[in-house]
C-alpha cells in the first residue's frame, strides 16, 4: 500500500497549476453547491486510499491487548518462553503495520486537504473577481478575509485530520466492543454500561457547549480581523485625525471579547478532559473488582482480565477524541456553509447566457430614460436621457452627491440601471459580453490604485503585453518620462505600498499613463479632488489633452477649468440632467452652470 501511495503521490505534480479560465459566468462545476462530498469527490483516489488506511489502522492497532492476553495465559500461567517471544514479535509486527499505515494516512489526507483547499481558494477567488461593486460596498474586507483564512483553515483541518480521525475512532470503538463481547459478554456488558452512558452524556454536553463557544471564538476573530484591516487601510486618516487612542481602546475591547471567548472555550475543555479521565479510572476500579471476582470464580482468565484493562483504556480515548473531532467536524461544516453563502452571492451585473461579443465600437453612448438607485427605494437618478457622440468629451458637473459618478458607473456597467437602458453604439450594455465591453473601456478613478510591482507593471496593467517602448510612450504622453528616467531602475523601479512613495500628482499621471497604454475607445475619468499645485495641474491637463484625443470621454469634473475644456458640459442635479451645452452656451444661457461658473471665477479668476 505504501508503494501505491508513493507511486500515486509521485505521479501528482508538486504544484499543479489550477485549471481556471476566468469567465464572467460561472461554469457548471462552479455552480454546483459546495458540499464536503463534492469537494472530496474530485480527489476520489486519495479518498479511497485514505479509507483503506483508516480500516487497517483501526483493526491492526487492536491486536496488542489480545497478544498480551495470549502471552499471559499461554506463556506465563503455563510457562513457555517461546510463546512469549512469538507474542512479542507479533506485537512488534502489529505495531509496525499500524505505524506504516498511519504514516500513509497522514500523507494521503494531507495531500487530499491541500488539493481540496487549492481548488476551493481558486473557486472563491474567481467568484470574488466576478462580483459587482455593491458586494464590496456591503461586505467588510475583513469578513471576506476571514472567510478566506479561518474558514478555509477549519475545512483544511477537518480534511487533513478530523475526518480520518472521526472514522478511525468510530471504527476502533466498534472493533473493541466486538472483541470485548467475544471475550466475556457479561463483563463486556457491565463495563460498557458503566462507561458509555456517562461518557456519552458528558460528550454531548461538551460538544454542544463547545460548538457555542467556538462560534463565539470565530465571530471574535472575524471582528478582530475586520477592525485590524480597517485600521490598517485607514491609517493615514486615523493619524491625521488623532484617533489612535480611541482606536486602541476600541481594538482592546474587540480583542478582549475574543480573549473571553477563548477562555470560555478553554474552560469547557478543562471540565470535560479531566472529567472523562476520572470516569475512566473509576471504571477501571469497578473492572478490577468485578473482573477479579470472575477470575477467582474461574469464569475469566488472568490474561483476558489484563486485556480488558488495556481495551478499556483504548475504549474511553476514542469517545473523548470523537467529541473533540466532532467539534472540528462541526466547525468545518459550518465553514462550508459560510463559504457556500459567499459563493451563492450572485453578481449584480450578470452576463446573459446569450450575451454577444461587442464589436469594436465607435464610442457613442446613449442613456435612454435611465433610472437608478443603489437602494431601489431611494432613486438617485430618474428619467435620464443623454447621447454622447463618438469622440466627444463630455464633462459632468454638479453639486456633490448629485449622481455624476453614478452616471459614470452605469457607463462602465459597474451597476445596471433599474429603469431604461444604457447603450454603446446602439448595444444595450446588458446584452453584451462583459469582457468585450470592459476591454474597450478605460477608467481612471478619483484615487488611482497602484499595485505592488514596478512602474512598468502598473502602466501596462490593462495590457500586460505592452512593450517597453509603449510604456515609455505612455509615460512621455502624460509627461512622466523625465521623473521615471531619474529613478534608479527606470520603469522597473518598484512602487511601494500602493504608490505612497509617489506624490499624488505623480500617482494621477501614472493612472493616466495606464489608461493611455490600454488605448480604450471610451474613457471614464473621475477627476481627483485633491488640491494639486499649479505645475502638477498644468501637467495633468496637458496629459488629459494627449489622452482624450479622438476618444469618447466622460469626465466627472470637480474643477470648472476641466469642464471648460470639454466639448459639452452636462449639469447633473436633482436626480437628473439639469442643463446640457458647451461651456460658452451654458454661460450665455445664464442658468445653474453660469451661476457655478460665476462663483468659481470669483474665487479663482482665470488668467
Ligand X SMILES: Nc1ncnc2c1ncn2[C@@H]1O[C@H](COP(=O)(O)OP(=O)(O)OP(=O)(O)O)[C@@H](O)[C@H]1O
Can you name the residues that pair with 367 across neighbouring β-strands?
386, 422
Nearer to ligand X, 401 or 488 (CB): 401
Task: Say how many residues touch ligand X, by CB under 6 A.
Answer: 12
Nearer to ligand X, 303 or 398 (CB): 398
- Please identify, among the stretches 116-124, 317-325, 397-405, 498-506, the one whose residues bind ligand X according to the rule CB under 6 A: 397-405
The reply on whether position 160 binds ligand X by CB under 6 A is no
- Please identify, among the stretches 69-77, 252-260, 400-408, 530-538, the one whose residues bind ligand X according to the rule CB under 6 A: 400-408
- Work out how close the CB of 578 gets to ligand X at its nearest, in angstroms, rounded to a whole number: 12
Pairing outcome for strands 522-526 and 552-556:
parallel
- Work out how close the CB of 202 gets to ligand X at its nearest, in angstroms, rounded to a whole number: 51
Nearer to ligand X, 490 or 591 (CB): 591
Nearer to ligand X, 175 or 557 (CB): 557
Binding mask 529-558 for ligand X (x = CB under 6 A): ---------------------------x--
Contact 129, 22 (CB under 8 A): yes
The count of C-alpha atoms lying within 13 angstroms of the C-alpha of 307, restricted to the half-sphere facing its C-beta, is 28
- Please identify, among the stretches 172-180, 404-412, 426-434, 473-481, the one whose residues bind ligand X according to the rule CB under 6 A: 404-412
Contact 524, 411 (CB under 8 A): yes
Would you state the cell numbers that stand for residue 587, as one nine-digit string?
454661460
Q: Is 35 helix (H, G, I), strand (E, B) or coil?
A: coil
The reply on whether position 576 binds ligand X by CB under 6 A is no
Can you name the residues that pair with 572 across neighbouring β-strands?
577
- Helix-then-strand count for the chain, H and E: 24, 12
- Work out how close the CB of 554 gets to ligand X at its nearest, in angstroms, rounded to a whole number: 12
The reply on whether position 400 binds ligand X by CB under 6 A is yes
Contact 363, 438 (CB under 8 A): no
The phi and psi torsions of 200 (rounded to 5 degrees) equal -65, -45
- Please identify, among the stretches 19-27, 223-231, 396-404, 478-486, the one whose residues bind ligand X according to the rule CB under 6 A: 396-404
Nearer to ligand X, 298 or 401 (CB): 401
- Please identify, among the stretches 197-205, 240-248, 398-406, 531-539, the one whose residues bind ligand X according to the rule CB under 6 A: 398-406
The reply on whether position 406 binds ligand X by CB under 6 A is yes
Query: Cell 501637467 appears where?
Result: 539
- Calculate the CA dihedral of residues 411, 417, 423, 429 and round it to 10 degrees: 80
Distance CA 347, CA 206 (A): 41
- Work out how close the CB of 400 gets to ligand X at its nearest, in angstroms, rounded to a whole number: 4
Nearer to ligand X, 353 or 401 (CB): 401
- Calculate the CA dihedral of residues 436, 441, 446, 452 and round it to 10 degrees: 60
- Work out how close the CB of 573 gets to ligand X at its nearest, in angstroms, rounded to a whole number: 9
Q: What are the DSSP calls for 295-349, one per residue?
A: HHTTSS-HHHHHHHHHHHHHHHHHHHHHHHHHHHHHHHHHHHHHHHHHHTPPPSS
Query: Cell 528616467 appears where?
Result: 485
Distance CA 578, CA 202 (A): 72
The reply on whether position 295 binds ligand X by CB under 6 A is no
Q: Which of 33, 401, 426, 550 binds ligand X (CB under 6 A)?
A: 401
- Work out how close the CB of 134 gets to ligand X at its nearest, in angstroms, rounded to a whole number: 6
* Site for ligand X, residues 361 to 390, rule: CB under 6 A: 374, 380
DSSP code of 74?
I
Q: Which of 404, 456, 568, 583 binds ligand X (CB under 6 A)?
A: 404
- Please identify, among the stretches 175-183, 393-401, 530-538, 597-605, the one whose residues bind ligand X according to the rule CB under 6 A: 393-401
- Work out how close the CB of 395 gets to ligand X at its nearest, in angstroms, rounded to a whole number: 12
Nearer to ligand X, 131 or 483 (CB): 131
Element (H, E) at 372: strand 365-372
- Work out how close the CB of 559 gets to ligand X at its nearest, in angstroms, rounded to a whole number: 11
- Please identify, among the stretches 13-21, 226-234, 395-403, 490-498, the one whose residues bind ligand X according to the rule CB under 6 A: 395-403
- Please identify, among the stretches 96-104, 186-194, 401-409, 449-457, the one whose residues bind ligand X according to the rule CB under 6 A: 401-409
Nearer to ligand X, 521 or 559 (CB): 559
Nearer to ligand X, 137 or 377 (CB): 137
Q: Which of 403, 499, 505, 576 binds ligand X (CB under 6 A)?
A: 403
Nearer to ligand X, 546 or 580 (CB): 580
- Work out how close the CB of 398 gets to ligand X at its nearest, in angstroms, rounded to a whole number: 6
Nearer to ligand X, 120 or 370 (CB): 370
Nearer to ligand X, 553 or 556 (CB): 556
Evaluated on CA atoms 342, 347, 353, 359, the torsion sign reads negative
- Please identify, among the stretches 64-72, 403-411, 547-555, 582-590, the one whose residues bind ligand X according to the rule CB under 6 A: 403-411
Chain length of the chain: 607
Q: Which of 327, 330, 405, 454 binds ligand X (CB under 6 A)?
A: 405
Distance CA 247, CA 231 (A): 8
* Site for ligand X, residues 125 to 154, rule: CB under 6 A: 137
- Please identify, among the stretches 17-25, 104-112, 139-147, 394-402, the one whose residues bind ligand X according to the rule CB under 6 A: 394-402
Q: Exposure of 456 by Cβ count < 10 A (0-12 exposed, 13-18 middle, 19+ buried)?
A: buried
Query: Cell 438617485 appears where?
Result: 380
Contact 417, 429 (CB under 8 A): no
Distance CA 303, CA 285 (A): 17
> How far is C-alpha 113 from the chain's CA centre?
17
Question: Among residues 581, 575, 579, which one has the least CA distance to residue 417?
Answer: 575
The phi and psi torsions of 401 (rounded to 5 degrees) equal 80, 10
Nearer to ligand X, 363 or 575 (CB): 575
Contact 9, 111 (CB under 8 A): yes
Q: Exposure of 84 by Cβ count < 10 A (0-12 exposed, 13-18 middle, 19+ buried)?
A: middle
Contact 335, 152 (CB under 8 A): yes
Q: Which of 124, 166, 402, 553 binds ligand X (CB under 6 A)?
A: 402
Nearer to ligand X, 19 or 400 (CB): 400
Distance CA 113, CA 159 (A): 5
Q: Is 396 helix (H, G, I), strand (E, B) or coil?
A: strand
Pairing outcome for strands 441-444 and 522-526:
parallel
Nearer to ligand X, 187 or 528 (CB): 528
- Work out how close the CB of 334 gets to ligand X at its nearest, in angstroms, rounded to a whole number: 30
Q: Which residues are at the interface with ligand X (CB under 6 A)? A: 137, 374, 380, 398, 400-406, 556
Amino acid at each position: 500500500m505504501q508503494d501505491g501511495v508513493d507511486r500515486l503521490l509521485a505521479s501528482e505534480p508538486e504544484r499543479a497549476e489550477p485549471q481556471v479560465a476566468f469567465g464572467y459566468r460561472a461554469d457548471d462545476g462552479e455552480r454546483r453547491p459546495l458540499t464536503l462530498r463534492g469537494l472530496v469527490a474530485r480527489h476520489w483516489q486519495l479518498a479511497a486510499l485514505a479509507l483503506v488506511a483508516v480500516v487497517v489502522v483501526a483493526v491492526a492497532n487492536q491486536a496488542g491487548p489480545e497478544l498480551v492476553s495470549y502471552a499471559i495465559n499461554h506463556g506465563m500461567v503455563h510457562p513457555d518462553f517461546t510463546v512469549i517471544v512469538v507474542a512479542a514479535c507479533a506485537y512488534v509486527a502489529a505495531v509496525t503495520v499500524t505505524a506504516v499505515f498511519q504514516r500513509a494516512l497522514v500523507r494521503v489526507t494531507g495531500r487530499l486537504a491541500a488539493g481540496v483547499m487549492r481548488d476551493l481558494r481558486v473557486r472563491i477567488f474567481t467568484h470574488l473577481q466576478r462580483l459587482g461593486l455593491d458586494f464590496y460596498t456591503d461586505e467588510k474586507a475583513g469578513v471576506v478575509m476571514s472567510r478566506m483564512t479561518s474558514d478555509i483553515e477549519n475545512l483544511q483541518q477537518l480534511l487533513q485530520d478530523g475526518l480520518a480521525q472521526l472514522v478511525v475512532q468510530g471504527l476502533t470503538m466498534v472493533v473493541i466492543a466486538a472483541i470485548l463481547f467475544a471475550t466475556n459478554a457479561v463483563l463486556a456488558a457491565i463495563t460498557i454500561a458503566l462507561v458509555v452512558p456517562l461518557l456519552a452524556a458528558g460528550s454531548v454536553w461538551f460538544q454542544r457547549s463547545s460548538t457555542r463557544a467556538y462560534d463565539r471564538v470565530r465571530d471574535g476573530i472575524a471582528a478582530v480581523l475586520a477592525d485590524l484591516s480597517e485600521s490598517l487601510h485607514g491609517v493615514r486618516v486615523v493619524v491625521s485625525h488623532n484617533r489612535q487612542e480611541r482606536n486602541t481602546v476600541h481594538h482592546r475591547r474587540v480583542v478582549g471579547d475574543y480573549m473571553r471567548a477563548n477562555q470560555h472555550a478553554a474552560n469547557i475543555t478543562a471540565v470535560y478532559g479531566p472529567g472523562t479521565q476520572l470516569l475512566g479510572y473509576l471504571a477501571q476500579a469497578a473492572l478490577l473488582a468485578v473482573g477479579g471476582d470472575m477470575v477467582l470464580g474461574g469464569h475469566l482468565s488472568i490474561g483476558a482480565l489484563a486485556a480488558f484493562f488495556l481495551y478499556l483504556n483504548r475504549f474511553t480515548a476514542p469517545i473523548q477524541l470523537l467529541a473533540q473531532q466532532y467539534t472540528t467536524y462541526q466547525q468545518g461544516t459550518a465553514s462550508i456553509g459560510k463559504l457556500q453563502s459567499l459563493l451563492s452571492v450572485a453578481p449584480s451585473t450578470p452576463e446573459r447566457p446569450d450575451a454577444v461579443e461587442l464589436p469594436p465600437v465607435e464610442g457613442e453612448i446613449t442613456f435612454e430614460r435611465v433610472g437608478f438607485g443603489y437602494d431601489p427605494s431611494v432613486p438617485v437618478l430618474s428619467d435620464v436621457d443623454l447621447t454622447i457622440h463618438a469622440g466627444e468629451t463630455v464633462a459632468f458637473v454638479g453639486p456633490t452627491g448629485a449622481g455624476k459618478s453614478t452616471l459614470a458607473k452605469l457607463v462602465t456597467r459597474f451597476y445596471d440601471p433599474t429603469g431604461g437602458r444604457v447603450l454603446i453604439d446602439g448595444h444595450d450594455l446588458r446584452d453584451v459580453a462583459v469582457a468585450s465591453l470592459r476591454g474597450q473601456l478605460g477608467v481612471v478613478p478619483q484615487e488611482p490604485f497602484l499595485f505592488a510591482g514596478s512602474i512598468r507593471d502598473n502602466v501596462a496593467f490593462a495590457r500586460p503585453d505592452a512593450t517597453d517602448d509603449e510604456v515609455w510612450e505612455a509615460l512621455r504622453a502624460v509627461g512622466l518620462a523625465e521623473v521615471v528616467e531619474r529613478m534608479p531602475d527606470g520603469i522597473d523601479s518598484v512602487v511601494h505600498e500602493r504608490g505612497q512613495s509617489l506624490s499624488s500628482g505623480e500617482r494621477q499621471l501614472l493612472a493616466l499613463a495606464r489608461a493611455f497604454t490600454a488605448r480604450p475607445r471610451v474613457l471614464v475619468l473621475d477627476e481627483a479632488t485633491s488640491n494639486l499645485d499649479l505645475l502638477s495641474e498644468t501637467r495633468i491637463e496637458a496629459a488629459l489633452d494627449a489622452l482624450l484625443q479622438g476618444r469618447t470621454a466622460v469626465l466627472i469634473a470637480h474643477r470648472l477649468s476641466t469642464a471648460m475644456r470639454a466639448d459639452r458640459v452636462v449639469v447633473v442635479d436633482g436626480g437628473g440632467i439639469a442643463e446640457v451645452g458647451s461651456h460658452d452656451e451654458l454661460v450665455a444661457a445664464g442658468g445653474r452652470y453660469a451661476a457655478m461658473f460665476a462663483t468659481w471665477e470669483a474665487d479663482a479668476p482665470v488668467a
